[in-house]
Amino acid sequence: MVQPATVASHRALGLSRVEIWCNVCIHNAEISTDGLPDDFPIPDICLRYRCSKCGSKNLMSRPSVHEPRGHVTRKRDVS
Ligand SMILES: [Zn+2]
């Protein structure tokens, strides 16, 4: 069974930042995981935010690409 990435597992990789992407306008921002509970799932972080550009709550969160050991999924939009 695959456990979802959590703030704790994220920190264990030496990562402290997460990117939040808007699925509507592709606006993105980087946030810190400081202050979040250890067992907070990374994919759920975006649920706490709203796009500051278009107001959408259709967001996704992923480890920051600016950090050296992030698990970056290079997934392209099909549209
Ligand atoms: Zn947006």
Give the chain's domains with CATH numbers. 7-63 (2.20.28)
| Residue 70 alpha carbon to ligand 1 centre in Å | 24
What pLDDT sits at residue 4?
A: 81
Position 36 pLDDT exceeds 70:
yes
- Global pTM reads 0.72
Contact 5, 42 (CB under 8 A): yes
Position 18 pLDDT exceeds 90:
yes
Mean of all residue pLDDT scores within the chain? 85
| Residue 50 alpha carbon to ligand 1 centre in Å | 8
What pLDDT sits at residue 66?
A: 61
Total residues found in the chain within this entry? 79
Position 6 pLDDT exceeds 90:
yes
| Residue 29 alpha carbon to ligand 1 centre in Å | 10
| Residue 7 alpha carbon to ligand 1 centre in Å | 24
What pLDDT sits at residue 78?
A: 56
Position 21 pLDDT exceeds 90:
yes
